[in-house]
Each structure stands twice: as structure tokens, then as C-alpha cells.
């Protein structure tokens, strides 16, 4: 096994004898958008060294996904050739890559692919690709999918026709699926609404029984689309949308700060348990009770565990950061971070900085990073005047704005710097504004720097 930590080592990994190393190398190159890797990844689209028992090619699929992340149109022809293979999972990876690349070279090939009789054809991804590229001339061929047995296909077809016609009936058809009994169909509908990008979809998405991560993704996508189009609107329409934008940014702030459940949908029904207000006889008993709640499948149980810690004795509160560093369970670590975030003291900074970390391991870790970053801005730096920890905080927030691909973490840094509000924080926001190409984060920086954000003076 070799360590992959750069484009050079990842490219070398593509020639390794271990298929796991080859796969990881392809993933790394896509995640880090290594443009120099495009020719080698194109070669991987034809790699036959590893094949599954079902006849699929994992490396080819990952190469297609990575090319989609890199978004270089020079690979479009090679991607289209993969639609001639028998690997339908590769077909789906290619279609999703083409959605990201958005090249006008695809129309004829996608229409031909639509006409082919292929078992298990990824029709949902195909319809999304046709819609994203505005290939409306196939409308009559898409109509039958509005009656599909698959709700996800119906949703993608309705998205196609809403984007094509603007008919609100198609939008309502997708919104109805947000109430479906199957949570995966609810989430799929939210992603379809996110791709459509209409402000009218925001309220039903926020009211749906879907994970906060999905809500964050969808609201960000809707805001991004609306902000990009804002310069093309008439002034009176823009004024009407400004209030909606402000409301969505406030909601996005709340989702970022309170994202506790991660990518899991946790039941909010509370099972019978010990009253959190009931006195506990010892520190060990209180911590045992709190930790048990933090690991519960109930979101309200977890919140009660946080409350126990926040209302505990000064000795326990003073030891929360040490408990964080000695704990390995991610749910409990998240609960400890949430408790420390509510207590807002500078001596928790090392724990917050550690939680932000240097790399994303999984969705849960991504959530804990955002909560910890926001917490750095909630500390009363004027009252506590801990310049050493403030310097550490500013260094970490600079890193969060300059390095991670995680837009949610960069968004959290904007919230934190707004909360700190001193001249250094505002200077960092201005510096980041000049480099930021995400319209949502760019606008959030504007909000942080606006007169609505009253800076601290220190």
C-alpha cells in the first residue's frame, strides 16, 4: 500500500498493482480537481485490470466520477464512448459527470442513448442530464416517464418538464413526493428541487421530514441559482427576492449551527427515561447518563444529554475539553462540542480547533467541523480577552476559508468571523471575498461585512 498525498503520488497510484490503490488514486485526483490528471483518468475509462463478478469495472466508474468533479470538457468524447459498454453503473457515473461538465457536445449522443433498449438503463440520471443541458426536443419521449412505477423517475421527469415549460403543476408533483413514506424518495425529491433552483421550493423543502444535510444542500443550491440570476432580473423583482434571500440565509445559518443528526434521519420521539432535571448522586453517574443520551437514536434524547452537561457542576464543565480528547465515539464527541459551544468559553478552543481538523473523513465529521467553527465566533472575546487562543482561532478560521472543499465549513467560518467582528476578522473576510467563487459564500461574506453586522471593538 502506498500513501497518496499529492497529484504525483495519486497518478503513480493509478499504475499500482493493487486495485484499491488505483481506485483511491482516481478518487483523490477527482476530489482535488487535479486538471493534469485528465489524460490519465481518460485512460482509466478503458482499464480492464479489475472486473466485478457482475461484469462491472469499479476503476472506470470512479474515473468517470472524478472527471465530472474536474469538469474539463476535453474528456467529453471519451466519456460518451463509455455509453457503448455493457456496464450500466458506468453509464450512470458518466451521465452524472456530463451533468457537471455541461458541454454542448453531448446532445446527439444522449438522444441516441435515450433511444436504445438497454436493460436497467439509468433513466433517472439520463433525464437529469437531458434537462441540465436543455435538450428539450426529446420532450415527447420523456412524457411516458411521468407515469413510471418509480417515483424517483417520475420526479426527474417532472423536473425536466418544469424546467422546460415553467408549468407549476410539475413543481407541485415533485413537492408532493416530499411527503412520501419512503425517506429516500423524499430526499430524491429534495435533490430534484435543488437542481430546479426555484425559490418557491425552499419552504416545502424546509418543512419536509428529511435530514438537515439535505436541507442545507438544497437551500444552498436554490440560493446559488437565484443569486446568479439576480443581475438579469428587473429591479422590482430583485427587491421582492431580497427579503426571501435574507430569510434563507438566516435559515442556513441555523442549519449550520444546529446540524447535530448528520446525514441520518433521527426519530424525535423520546423513549421513557430518567428526567434530565433529576439530581444525580455523582459526577460519574451524571456523565454516564449524559453519554448514554448522546448516543441515543432520538434527537431529543441527545439534546437532553447536552443539557445535562451544560447545567452540570463547574468541575465537569471545566473538564469537557479533556473528555472530548479522551472520547472516540463520534456521537458523544459531537455532543461534547455542542455543550461547549453553548457554554462559549475560550478554554474550549483547542477542542473546537481539533474538531475542525485538517481533512473530512465522513458526513458526521463534516457536521462536527461546522458546529465547532461556528462556536469559535460565539465566544465573548472582549470579555475573556484571551489573545493566545484568539490568535489560534484566527489562524484556524483562515485555514477554513482557504483550504477545504467543504462549502459548509467555509460558510461556518463566515458566521464565526462575523461573530468575532474585530478588524482582523473583517480584514480576513475582505481578503476571502476577493478569492471566493461560490455565490452563496460570497454573499454571506457581504452580510458579515454589512451594517447589519455590528462589530466588536477590540
pLDDT in tens, 419-458: 999 999 999 999 999 989 899 999 999 999 986 554 444 4
Segment 393-412 shows an average pLDDT of 89
> Measured between alpha carbons, how far is residue 102 from residues 79, 98, 111, 183 in Å?
13, 6, 15, 29
Give the residue extent of every domain in the chain: 1-103, 142-258, 344-449
- pLDDT value at residue 362: 39
Any residues with CB less than 8 A from the CB of 455 and at least 6 apart, and which?
A: 421, 422, 423, 425, 426
Eight-class DSSP state of 311:
T
**Domain covering 1-103, topology:** 1.25.10
Any residues with CB less than 8 A from the CB of 35 and at least 6 apart, and which?
A: 70, 72
Comparison of pLDDT for 362 and 28, the residue scoring more: 28
pLDDT in tens, 152-181: 999 999 999 999 999 999 999 999 999 999
| Band of residue 231 on the pLDDT scale cut at 50, 70, 90 | low
Domain 344-449 in the same topology as domain 1-103: yes
pLDDT in tens, 353-373: 999 986 544 334 578 899 999
Comparison of pLDDT for 282 and 157, the residue scoring more: 157
**Domain covering 344-449, topology:** 1.25.10
- pLDDT value at residue 235: 52
The pLDDT mean for the chain works out to 88
* pLDDT beyond 90 at 299: no
Amino acid at each position: 500500500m502506498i500513501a497518496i498525498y499529492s497529484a504525483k503520488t495519486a497518478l503513480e497510484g493509478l499504475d499500482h498493482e493493487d486495485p484499491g490503490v488505483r481506485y483511491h488514486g482516481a478518487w483523490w485526483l477527482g476530489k482535488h480537481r487535479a486538471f493534469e490528471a485528465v489524460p490519465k483518468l481518460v485512460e482509466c475509462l478503458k482499464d480492464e485490470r479489475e472486473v466485478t463478478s457482475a461484469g462491472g469495472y469499479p476503476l472506470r466508474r470512479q474515473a468517470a466520477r472524478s472527471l465530472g468533479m474536474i469538469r474539463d470538457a476535453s474528456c467529453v468524447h471519451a466519456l460518451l464512448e463509455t455509453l457503448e459498454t455493457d456496464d450500466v453503473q458506468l453509464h450512470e457515473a458518466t451521465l452524472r459527470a456530463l451533468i457537471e461538465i455541461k458541454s454542448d457536445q453531448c446532445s446527439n449522443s444522449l438522444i441516441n442513448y435515450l433511444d436504445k433498449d438497454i436493460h436497467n438503463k439509468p433513466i433517472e440520471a439520463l433525464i437529469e442530464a437531458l434537462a441540465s443541458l436543455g435538450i428539450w426536443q426529446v420532450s415527447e419521449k420523456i412524457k411516458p416517464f411521468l407515469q413510471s412505477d418509480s417515483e424517483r423517475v417520475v420526479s426527474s421527469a417532472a423536473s425536466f418538464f418544469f424546467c422546460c415549460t415553467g408549468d407549476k403543476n410539475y413543481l407541485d408533483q415533485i413537492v408532493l413526493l416530499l411527503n412520501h413514506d419512503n425517506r429516500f424518495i423524499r430526499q430524491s425529491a429534495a435533490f430534484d428541487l435543488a437542481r430546479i433552483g426555484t425559490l418557491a421550493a425552499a419552504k416545502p423543502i424546509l418543512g419536509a421530514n428529511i435530514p438537515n444535510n439535505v436541507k442545507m444542500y438544497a437551500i444552498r443550491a436554490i440560493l446559488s441559482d437565484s443569486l446568479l440570476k439576480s443581475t438579469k432580473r428587473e429591479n422590482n423583482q430583485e427587491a421582492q427576492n431580497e427579503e426571501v434571500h435574507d430569510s434563507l440565509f438566516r435559515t442556513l445559518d441555523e442549519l449550520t449551527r444546529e446540524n447535530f443528526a448528520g446525514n441520518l434521519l433521527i426519530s424525535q420521539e423520546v423513549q421513557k427515561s430518567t428526567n434530565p432535571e433529576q439530581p444525580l448522586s455523582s459526577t460519574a453517574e451524571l456523565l454516564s447518563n449524559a453519554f448514554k443520551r448522546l448516543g441515543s437514536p432520538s434527537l431529543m434524547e441527545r439534546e437532553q444529554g447536552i443539557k445535562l452537561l451544560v447545567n452540570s457542576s463547574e468541575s465537569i464543565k471545566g473538564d469537557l475539553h479533556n473528555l472530548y480528547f479522551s472520547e472516540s465515539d463520534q456521537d458523544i464527541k459531537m455532543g461534547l462540542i455542542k455543550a461547549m459551544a453553548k457554554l462559549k468559553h475560550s478554554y474550549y478552543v483547542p477542542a473546537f480547533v481539533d474538531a475542525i481538523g485538517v481533512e473530512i473523513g465522513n458526513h458526521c465529521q463534516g457536521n462536527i467541523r461546522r458546529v465547532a467553527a461556528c462556536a469559535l465566533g460565539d465566544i465573548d472575546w472582549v470579555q475573556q480577552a484571551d489573545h493566545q487562543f484568539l490568535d489560534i482561532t484566527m489562524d484556524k478560521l483562515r485555514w477554513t476559508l482557504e483550504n477545504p472543499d467543504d462549502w459548509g465549513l467555509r460558510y461556518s467560518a463566515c458566521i464565526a468571523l462575523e461573530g468575532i467582528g474585530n478588524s482582523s476578522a473583517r480584514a480576513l473576510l475582505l481578503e476571502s471575498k476577493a478569492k471566493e467563487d461560490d455565490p452563496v459564500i460570497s454573499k454571506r461574506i457581504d452580510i458579515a461585512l454589512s451594517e447589519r453586522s455590528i462589530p466588536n471593538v477590540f
